[in-house]
Structure 1
Amino acid sequence: MKKDIEIPKVEGVYVAAVKEFNKDFGAEEWNAYLINDSETALETVLIVTRGYDGRKQTSTMRHKLEKLPVSSFAKIEFLQEDVLALNNEFWITFFRDGKMFEKKFVFRKNSINEKAVQDLPVIPKKGVLVK
């Protein structure tokens, strides 16, 4: 039954938006990162992203990482300036110690901005963090 299904809690895994200088385009841009600040590697990481609000919706993007080691991070995708005005959703599914974990991280519309920047775990930069 439903009560017998164990849904493990995701801890030590975050999504962050970091503003970085792109040398190729000579401009500042926001990039989304997956952070593993736990004591166990993440395996077979599946990431599904989309932007939405009441009227608009972006395409759904899918990404896969074979492994994200302990205390590390990986770039997920570039965030276009237009998309920052939407809710940005990141569904993260992964295996840890033989169990499947899943969590939805959402940057609320207009929450990715310079005023919301803070120190980030693992990444030696500042950014906007979703826990």
Structure 2
Amino acid sequence: MKKDIKIPEVKDVYIAVVQEQHLEYKTLDWNAYIINNTDKDLETVLIVSQGYNDNKMTPPMRHTISKLPARSYAKVEYLQDKVLELNNVFKVTFFEGNQMFDKSYTFRKNTINTKALQKLPLMQLKGVLVK
């Protein structure tokens, strides 16, 4: 029965972490975004994020986006500096039409930094991207 469940490969949906100026607190904050670089809307997007290493594990953070339009992006969460020292996993599940998609995106510890910034699809910003 399990073998009969087909979950297709996720293409052109990414998680990116961007360093942005917080206007109120005048700080540079790291924020995670989901990017839908496809021609189709994503529905019921569920994101579970968690940081971990050999000694520590953060509690899971759960997020829901009811609809992420084609060629768009949405902020998922703020990442504290201490969390950047951990491996950070974002498990993303969504529907495209009646088909379910699922993918895990992992940022290895200390890979979210200003040296790793690159141009991001759709966003007019630079950030750290996991495909």
Is the TM value for this pair above 0.5?
Answer: yes
Give the structure 1 partner of residue 120 of structure 2: 120
Q: CA deviation at 1:7?
A: 1.8
Question: Aligned equivalents of 1:53 and 1:47: distance in 2?
Answer: 20
Q: CA deviation at 1:2?
A: 4.2
Q: Does 1:62 align with 2:62?
A: yes
Q: Does 1:77 align with 2:77?
A: yes
Give the structure 1 partner of residue 96 of structure 2: 96
Q: CA deviation at 1:120?
A: 0.3
Question: Aligned equivalents of 1:83 and 1:99: distance in 2?
Answer: 33
Q: CA deviation at 1:102?
A: 0.5
Give the structure 1 partner of residue 37 of structure 2: 37
- Could you give the per-residue CA deviations for residues 50-100 of structure 1, whole angstroms, max 9, x where no partner exists? 000000111110000000001100000000000000000100000002101
Question: Aligned equivalents of 1:59 and 1:2: distance in 2?
Answer: 29
Question: Aligned equivalents of 2:95 and 2:5: distance in 1?
Answer: 16
Q: TM-score, normalised by structure 2?
A: 0.97
Give the structure 2 partner of residue 16 of structure 1: 16
Q: TM-score, normalised by structure 1?
A: 0.97
Q: Find the residue that maps to 1:89 and give its secondary structure.
A: strand
Q: CA deviation at 1:4?
A: 2.9
Question: Aligned equivalents of 1:101 and 1:3: distance in 2?
Answer: 16
Q: Any unmatched runs of 5+ in structure 2?
A: none
The number of equivalent residue pairs is: 131
Q: CA deviation at 1:3?
A: 3.9
List 4+ stretches of structure 1 deviating above 2 A.
1-5
Question: Aligned equivalents of 1:3 and 1:79: distance in 2?
Answer: 37
Q: Find the residue that maps to 1:33 and give its secondary structure.
A: strand
Q: CA deviation at 1:24?
A: 1.1
Please give the root-mean-square deviation of Cα atoms over the aligned residues, in Å. 0.8
Q: Find the residue that maps to 2:66 and give its secondary structure.
A: strand
Give the structure 1 partner of residue 49 of structure 2: 49
Question: Aligned equivalents of 1:79 and 1:36: distance in 2?
Answer: 20
